[in-house]
């Protein structure tokens, strides 16, 4: 087989004229990624092997931080809470978003306004949302307690009861995050060719059959995409915990990122905190790899 | 790609421009993941004329505070935590200082509590910390032991500065075996507030220095009522907080004859019966006598006393301005005494200098000024804390508002809030246990809860 000559341009460079311009435009982002992201990430790997309080010089301790984390009760509770949060909020959030998207996939008058209304929580500051939900969840005269009081159920301490607090935070987060998934699903729904659906209904398929056999399979790329975003995001939950678990997260509400923040910035244990963040990274990376591998089994690209 | 000049070309460009502008504006305003949300307001000093004459003439003892600064022109940065509105009052102090020391320019910044410490640690790590910054008593050892604070003893000795002019307990909080690493700027104690109107309506005499624990419970029960007959308490006898030792279980521990730390500061003595008894009293106030509301009830809606829903409140002196602003007919009384007598908590805030400051003399001049009568009288007007300067405390402060004398007198029986390396983590572990099992729900008695957490606390202290 003859070897392929690498194409060259008039200037003789293998990259080509357009290639060099591409590199030039990509340079700011690439340099930013290298200096501001990759560099610090590698630095944290080094820091995780030390004992560092931010104010004095770091001391090398090898893998002690990782060993200590495995037996740290609070870290294990943080893992448990984060996994609970993920397992509940991701599937539930996506299911509700999918249902909403199907409902919003119509061309009635005012649909644009309704879609905007559903998207508003996404662009509203978490602090503002948390303040409103604190009032809703208030044990004293909160909206939720008043509502269940109409059915004779006694007032609950939504944000103080160790059993109820995490589900309460999950509910608020699901509500807040719906908008993004709805938009993505809507786009996916609108990309489904209507001829397929018409052909199916001509063949006698009812609405549920059409959804099951045409809409959902063709939506799997969107489901895959929102799934991965939600998964990665929910493992890093911090904002909602920071504002709702006042004054401080307890064993019932602490999550991994809050644990990292607490140890690094309050307890003068930056090395310990970075070790925890690397464990989080490894977990999320592993799950993402598994998730991507599973693509072949259930995602149908058109 | 050719750009097509159609009739809508101009409109499209305007829309694109508008969209880009909107994106830039929204990116600037969007909330990033929380911790970095500080309000850093840096204001350069106004012209000297405004504050100078009044400051100099009202200063009773001008000697130490105006001792001349002989160094070169300097600009120093001053960082504190507080309400963003406080920048105005801090600016008044800064302006007066600039008038007295024209060669030194001070740039103040104010952040909220959480952001303040993050920024401080980050800036020290980066080597560019503020020259002068505020330090909380309990957190002082964590910073001093890591060698980031400047020892002020050489300056004190050289000028013959008299540390005795400042409240002794407050000075001690910033003293170590080998030096003086800061000067106290102001103090906070814990006191009993009461709503005169609610007492008058119930025809009960106001609290005074004779009250003890039994009297507190008795009057508290008389003032806890279900005013509208729906089976739920609407008015509480007493409101207090439970999530920090300062307000107010540490005072109860001391009033019961116990303590939090051993005299050598190396172990905790919360496991004793006396200490447990103090905390048990608070648990009983909530769950047995039911005169203090369940902490969850007002956690989100704020201070029950300010809302007129509680007849008394035991809390810190930093609340005086907000209580007055809430329109309560306010009275201030000493804390009721316990079986071992009177006790309250004192927590000084100090001004310290960064070890790597480029202008240590200028920084020292400013720190000295903050504790001088001139600055202390200005800060005193905020009413949010007690002055650290003894002269101002006994004189102008004690007569500055009704109840101020009670606060000034309470220093005589005040215990310092514990201050040691590892305080934040210690308090976090301890409060987690107390909140979950003692205050929010009576799952355990105080003794059981403390017994389960004291070993962990001691091993934390041992590892520091």
Tell me the CATH number at B244. 3.40.190.10
State whether B332 and B396 are in the same domain.
no
Pairwise CB contact (< 8 Å): A56 & B146: yes
- Nearest alpha carbon to residue B280 among B458, B452, B450, B457: B450
β-partners of residue B238 are: B312
State whether B239 and B315 are in the same domain.
yes
State whether B152 and B93 are in the same domain.
yes
Compare CB distances from B298 to A55, A123, A140 and report the shortest one's residue: A140
Residue finishing a domain among B378, B400, B416: B416
User: In sequence order, which residues have a C-beta less than 8 Å from that of residue A229 and are 6 or more positions away?
Assistant: A180
State whether B121 and B201 are in the same domain.
no
pLDDT at B70: 78
Mean pLDDT computed over B354-378: 93
DSSP conformational letter for B354 = B
* pLDDT tens profile A61-107: 999 999 999 999 999 999 999 999 999 999 999 999 999 999 888 88
The least confident of A289-298, B36-45, B214-223 is: B36-45
Residue B310 three-state SS: strand
Residue B47 predicted with pLDDT over 50: no
pLDDT at B23: 54
Domain annotation covers residue B5: no
Pairwise CB contact (< 8 Å): B33 & A266: no
DSSP conformational letter for B361 = H
Pairwise CB contact (< 8 Å): B424 & A159: no
Where is B131: in which H helix or E strand?
none
State whether B393 and B339 are in the same domain.
no
Contact A238, A125 (CB under 8 A): no
Pairwise CB contact (< 8 Å): A55 & B424: no
pLDDT at B463: 87
User: In sequence order, which residues have a C-beta less than 8 Å from that of residue B156 and are 6 or more positions away?
Assistant: B163, B180
The least confident of A144-153, A222-231, B16-25, B353-362 is: B16-25
* pLDDT tens profile B164-200: 999 999 999 999 999 999 999 999 999 999 999 999 9
Preferred mutation among B22, B150, B300, B309 to probe A, highest tally of A CBs within 10 A: B300
Domain ranges of chain A: 85-251
State whether B166 and B199 are in the same domain.
no
Pairwise CB contact (< 8 Å): B146 & A53: yes
State whether B212 and B262 are in the same domain.
yes
Distance CA(A158)–CA(A165), nearest Å, equals: 6
Instruction: Give contacts of A251 with chain B, Cβ < 8 Å.
Output: 432, 436
Instruction: Give contacts of A159 with chain B, Cβ < 8 Å.
Output: 296, 299-300
Q: Which residues of A touch B (CB under 8 A)?
A: 53-56, 123, 125-127, 134-135, 137-140, 142, 157, 159-162, 238-239, 242-243, 246-248, 250-251, 261-262, 265-268
State whether B224 and B243 are in the same domain.
yes
Domain that includes residue B412, residue range: 50-188+347-416
pLDDT at B198: 93
Name the residue in chain B with its Cα closest to that of A128. Answer: B31
User: In sequence order, which residues have a C-beta less than 8 Å from that of residue B110 and are 6 or more positions away?
Assistant: B39, B40, B41, B79, B80, B81, B82, B83, B84, B86, B87, B90
What is the sign, positive or negative, of the torsion defined by CA atoms of A149, A155, A159, A162? negative
Domain annotation covers residue B16: no
pLDDT band at A14 (very low <50, low <70, confident <90, very high): low
ipTM of the complex: 0.83
Distance CA(A97)–CA(A103), nearest Å, equals: 10
Domain annotation covers residue B341: yes
What is the CATH superfamily name and number for domain A85-251?
MetI-like (1.10.3720.10)
Compare CB distances from B296 to A54, A126, A160 and report the shortest one's residue: A160
pLDDT band at B127 (very low <50, low <70, confident <90, very high): confident
Domain annotation covers residue B250: yes
State whether B352 and B280 are in the same domain.
no
Domain annotation covers residue B40: no
State whether B118 and B230 are in the same domain.
no
Distance CA(B152)–CA(B355), nearest Å, equals: 10
């Amino acid at each position: 087989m003859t070897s392929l000559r690498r194409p060259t341009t008039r200037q003789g460079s293998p990259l080509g004229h357009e290639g060099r311009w591409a590199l030039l435009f990509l340079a700011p982002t690439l340099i930013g990624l290298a200096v501001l992201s990759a560099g610090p990430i590698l630095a944290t790997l080094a820091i995780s092997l030390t004992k560092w309080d931010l104010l004095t010089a770091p001391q090398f301790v090898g893998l002690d931080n990782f060993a200590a984390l495995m037996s740290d009760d609070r870290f294990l509770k943080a893992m448990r809470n984060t996994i609970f949060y993920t397992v509940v909020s991701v599937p539930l959030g996506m299911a509700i978003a999918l249902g909403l998207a199907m409902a919003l996939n119509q061309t009635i008058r005012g649909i644009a306004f309704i879609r905007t209304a559903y998207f508003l929580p996404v662009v509203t500051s978490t602090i503002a949302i948390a303040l409103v939900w604190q009032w809703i969840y208030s044990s004293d005269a909160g909206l939720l307690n008043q509502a269940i009081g109409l059915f004779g159920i006694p007032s609950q301490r939504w944000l103080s009861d160790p059993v109820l607090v995490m589900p309460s935070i999950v509910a608020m987060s699901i509500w807040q995050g719906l908008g993004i998934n709805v938009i993505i699903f809507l786009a996916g729904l609108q990309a489904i060719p209507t001829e397929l659906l018409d052909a199916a209904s001509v063949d006698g398929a009812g609405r549920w059959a059409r959804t099951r056999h045409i809409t959902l399979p063709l939506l799997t790329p969107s489901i895959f995409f929102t799934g991965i975003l939600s998964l990665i995001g929910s493992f890093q939950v911090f904002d909602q915990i920071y504002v709702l678990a006042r004054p401080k997260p307890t064993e019932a509400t602490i999550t991994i990122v809050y644990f990292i923040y607490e140890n690094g910035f309050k307890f003068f244990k930056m090395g310990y905190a970075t070790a925890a963040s690397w464990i989080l990274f490894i977990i999320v990376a592993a799950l993402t790899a598994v998730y991507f591998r599973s693509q072949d089994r259930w995602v149908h690209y058109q | 790609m050719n750009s097509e000049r159609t009739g809508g070309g101009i409109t499209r460009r305007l829309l694109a421009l508008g969209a880009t502008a909107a994106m830039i504006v929204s990116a600037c305003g969007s909330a990033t993941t929380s911790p970095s949300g500080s309000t850093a307001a840096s204001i350069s000093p106004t012209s000297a004329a405004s504050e100078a004459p009044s400051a100099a003439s009202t200063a009773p003892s001008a000697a130490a505070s105006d001792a001349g600064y002989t160094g070169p022109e300097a600009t120093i940065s001053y960082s504190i935590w507080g309400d963003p509105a406080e920048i105005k009052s801090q600016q008044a102090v800064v302006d007066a200082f600039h008038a007295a020391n024209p060669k030194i320019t001070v740039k103040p910044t104010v952040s909220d509590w959480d952001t303040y410490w993050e920024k401080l640690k980050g800036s020290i790590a980066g080597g560019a910390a503020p020259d002068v910054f505020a330090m909380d008593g309990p957190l002082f050892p964590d910073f001093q032991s890591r060698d980031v604070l400047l020892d002020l003893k050489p300056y004190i000795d050289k000028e013959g500065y008299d540390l005795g002019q400042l409240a002794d307990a407050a000075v001690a909080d910033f003293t170590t075996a080998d030096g003086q690493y800061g000067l106290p700027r102001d103090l906070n104690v814990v006191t009993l507030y009461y709503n005169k109107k609610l007492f008058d309506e119930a025809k009960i005499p106001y609290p005074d220095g004779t009250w003890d624990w039994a009297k507190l419970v008795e009057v508290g029960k008389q003032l806890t009522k279900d005013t509208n007959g729906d089976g739920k308490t609407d008015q509480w006898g007493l409101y207090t907080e439970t999530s920090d030792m300062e307000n107010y279980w540490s005072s109860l521990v001391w009033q019961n004859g116990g303590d939090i730390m051993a005299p050598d500061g190396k172990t905790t003595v919360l496991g004793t019966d006396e200490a447990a008894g103090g905390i048990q009293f608070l648990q009983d106030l909530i769950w047995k006598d039911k005169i203090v509301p369940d902490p969850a009830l007002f956690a989100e809606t704020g201070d029950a006393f300010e809302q007129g829903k509680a007849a008394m409140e035991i809390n810190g002196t930093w609340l005086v301005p907000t209580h007055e602003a809430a329109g309560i007919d306010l009275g201030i009384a000493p804390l009721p005494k316990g079986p071992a007598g009177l006790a309250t908590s004192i927590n000084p805030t100090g001004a310290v200098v960064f070890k790597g400051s480029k202008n240590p003399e200028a920084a020292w001049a400013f720190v000295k000024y903050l504790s001088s009568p001139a600055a202390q009288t200005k800060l005193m007007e905020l009413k949010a804390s007690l002055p650290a300067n003894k002269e101002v405390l006994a004189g102008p402060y004690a007569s500055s508002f009704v109840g101020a004398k009670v606060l000034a007198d309470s220093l005589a029986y005040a215990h310092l809030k514990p201050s040691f390396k590892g305080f934040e983590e210690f308090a976090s572990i301890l409060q987690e246990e107390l909140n979950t099992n003692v205050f929010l729900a009576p799952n355990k008695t105080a003794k059981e809860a403390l017994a389960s957490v004291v070993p962990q606390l001691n091993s934390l202290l041992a590892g520091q």
